[in-house]
Structure formats: structure tokens, C-alpha cells
Amino acid sequence: MGTARKYAVIDPGTGKIDRSIFSEQAIYDDEMEKIFGRAWLMIGHESLVPAVDDFFHTYMGEDPVILSRDGQGRLHALLNMCRHRGNRVCRVDDGNAKRFTCTYHGWTYRNDGALEYVPGETEAYYDALDKGSLGLIEARVDTYAGIVFATWAKDAPSLEAYLGDARWYLDTVFNRRDGGMQALGPIKWLEPANWKTMVDNCSDNYHVPTSHLASARVQTRWLGRPPLSHEDQFASPNKHAFVNGHGITFRDADDNTPRYVHGMSKETSRVFRQYHEATMPEVERRLGPLRARRVQLGNHSVFPNGILGLRLALPRGPLKTEFWHFVLVDRDAPEELKRVIRIGSQANNGAAGMFEQDDVDNWRQVTAASTSRLGRRHPQDLSMGLGHAGPHPDYPGLVSERYISENNQRLFYRRWEEFMNAESWAQIPLDPIKARFDGTATMRG
Ligand code: FES
Ligand SMILES: [Fe+2]
């Protein structure tokens, strides 16, 4: 007999989910170990550290990490913790430095993590200190189309295998241009909600006509966006797909329409259309006609906590999440377009974003319900579209029949269980890469 699973929080037959995973400290502590201690985590973008000796301070779960580019141009993810007594060796958000000196006793590390200098190495330590074993703790680093990922797990699969066929969809935003992308930001703020609720929300199109009714009406009236009703959503040919924990939503239409991004309006549509037409031959060469013309990535999540482009949902306790919102733009796009996207993105999804404010209040209540004496005894219901997803002839992953479905959410929590119940990476299943990646785009851009 196999050993009993520690976590069985989602009932695959009914979609009922145990609310305790949104509030209990012990489960949260286990997540830090089993999920954030072993998954590939999005930590930044190469454009944040473009030159040698650049660094950017980020986080892997709750662990502070310095993303640095050493003198040879290689990337490192270094735990920001002095190996002597644990002081932070870097106290700023970003910069350019060959070394990090600890402010407590002065141990000094190179930007590749090696411990280079210790005051009193002879006089105080009698030359007995093994400096070679006392470099900063380093994570494995890899990149996909300029996005930097890192993992603490030595036995983790390659990043390419981890992303799997989700990359087939992600390429349609992140891998369009030869020149790659550029990250602006981040805007940072705290939300009083469990980190999983924001990730789950990335595949929740069901809430949009209700939660965002007022925002959508304003946008229809002033920006010329089409009205957004439940009926439109139910009839939409758009789809959801799920691969290896990653939740994808995408527009499925070959109507030569520029992909929607925040910032599009009656006034700016001309700039978007010109850019769409000017770049389509290049995009088609890089991604092949199906992905270039037909598939437009919508909201999405990269397991566990990378969401909506380059946004990090950083856990800060079971009831709190720190959001880092970057705006990603094609590096070679016209400045006018970059400006419109930057402003549009903040107006919708920033700390003061119109849509963001609608969302956060729902998420706060969802989290709070898990702490109430009576409320937490009753599971959430994630039964929508049960039994209506499967393989698709054109699209990789497990594809939902309808755009409005909770299939991706159910599978996200099942993935969560797979990580939480596994002793090691050997017990975490991965779907093999099966998609055909037409075009010249690769993992490296
Ligand atoms: S804690 Fe860093 S040098 Fe002592
Ligand atoms: Fe929303």
C-alpha cells in the first residue's frame, strides 16, 4: 500500500476545496518548504541587470535574493544573508557593484557569491577559516526569453521541462521580437489576501462582468472598448489551457486584430495597429503562422506565483501577499507605444489600478472567510465545467471547452497537492513536451 497523502484538499469529483489552505500558518510554512523551496520561481528580468556588475534585489518566496550579473556577464541568484551571523549584505533595491560588504563585521563577497575578504583572517581566525565553503548561498538560475527564474532544488528538472508546453502559449507575448523585452518597474504593494487566491484569479474570467462592471462601463464609454457582458463571455471562442501547474487563457481568432493590452483606446488604436502590421512578418517568422496570427495569450499564471506577465505574488504570511507589478514592453517598440502601455498598465493593474481595486476587495473577503469559525468549515465550490476539458487537436495542454470554466483552478490546486505531498522532485509529475514549436524563437529568445 502507498503511504497516505498528507494533503487532499481538492475533491476532483466535486471541485470542493478545503479553505484551511488559505489561512493556516502550518500549511503556509509547509508551502515555503515544499513549493517555494523547490519550484522554479520567476525572480526578475535580464533587462533589470543589463550590464556587468549590475544587481537587482528580489525574493524567492520570503527569502531575500540578490540577482547579480558578474564580471563575466553570468547571472547569479544569491541569498542575501551573510554566512557569518546572517546579516543582510545588500541593503538597496538595485545598483552596480563588484562586491557586497556586510555592515556587521565586514565580511566581503564578490558579486558571484564567493567570500573574498574577512577582517582579521590571520589575526582573529589563525588562518583556519574555510572561506571557500562560506560563499553566499546560491540558487540555480536559468532564463526564458529574458525572464529570470531560479530554484533552490538541485534535483529540479530543467526550466524548459518545467515550463513544458506552456511555453508554446507564453511565446506569443514574451518571445515575439528579435530584440526581446524590457521590464519597467516594479510597483510594489501589499494585499491582505493569501497568495494562491491571486494566482487562481488569473484564469477566472467568470468574475469580470460582475466585479469589473463599473470599470468596464467606463472603458466602453471613454476608451471605446466593446461592452463586456456575461453573454459575450459565455459565447466567446477563447479558451483555457493547463500545463504543469501553469494556467493559460488565450484568445483564439484569426481576424488580424492587434492583441489587446492595457493602454488601447480609440485615441491610441492607430499606434497599435501600425505596430501590429509592421511587426507581423517578424512575429510570424519567430512563432509560425498559427501562434502569430491566431493565438493571443490572455491572463495567465506560471506556477507557483508568477502572474499576468511579469508580476510576482510574493507570500508574506498566510493572510498577506506583496505584489510586484512590472510592465513588460518590446524593447524595439516605438517610444510612443511603450509610453501608452506603461500608463495603461498602471491605470488598470497598478496599486491604484481601476481593475485592481475591484479585485482586491473580493480577494480580501475570500481570505477572511477562511479565518471565520463557521465559514472555514464550509469548502469553496470549484465545480464549474467539471468533465468538460481534455486534449485539443490544435492546442497543447488540457484545454477547457468553454472560456468560462474552473478547470484551470481545480488543476492548480491539484498541482499544489502534488508539490505538497512529494518527498522530492522525483515524485512530482511533469507532462512531456509535445507541442510543435514552429518558427525560430527558442528558450533564449
Ligand atoms: S554578520 Fe556579516 S560579517 Fe558578521
Ligand atoms: Fe479581476
Q: What is the pLDDT of residue 222?
A: 84
Going by alpha carbons, the residue nearest to atom 3 of ligand 1 is 105
**Among residues 333, 256, 251, 332, which one has the least CA distance to residue 296?**
251
Pocket of ligand 1 from Cβ distances under 6 Å: 82, 84-85, 87, 102, 104-107
Compute the distance between CA of residue 102 and CA of residue 135 in angstroms, rounded to an integer: 13
Instruction: Reply yes or no on whether the pLDDT at 438 is more than 50.
Output: yes
Can you tell me the mean pLDDT for 376-390? 97
The CA 83 to ligand 1 mean position distance, Å, reads: 7
Say if CB 244 and CB 163 are below 8 A apart.
yes
Can you tell me the mean pLDDT for 9-15? 96
- Residue 4's pLDDT band (cuts 50, 70, 90): low
Which cell numbers in the block locate residue 157?
528538472
For helices 269-289 and 335-349, angle between their N-to-C axes, nearest 10 degrees: 100
Atom number, ligand 1, closest to the C-alpha of residue 87: 1
**Percent of the chain at pLDDT exceeding 70:** 99
Say if CB 214 and CB 357 are below 8 A apart.
no
> Which residues, in sequence order, are CB contacts of 369 under 8 Å at separation 6+?
19, 375, 376
Mean pLDDT of the chain, nearest integer: 95
Q: Scanning the structure block, which residue is given the C-alpha cell 481595486? A: 357
Atom number, ligand 1, closest to the C-alpha of residue 86: 1
Going by alpha carbons, the residue nearest to atom 1 of ligand 1 is 85
Compute the distance between CA of residue 195 and CA of residue 203 in angstroms, rounded to an integer: 15
Say if CB 265 and CB 223 are below 8 A apart.
yes
The CA 84 to ligand 1 mean position distance, Å, reads: 5
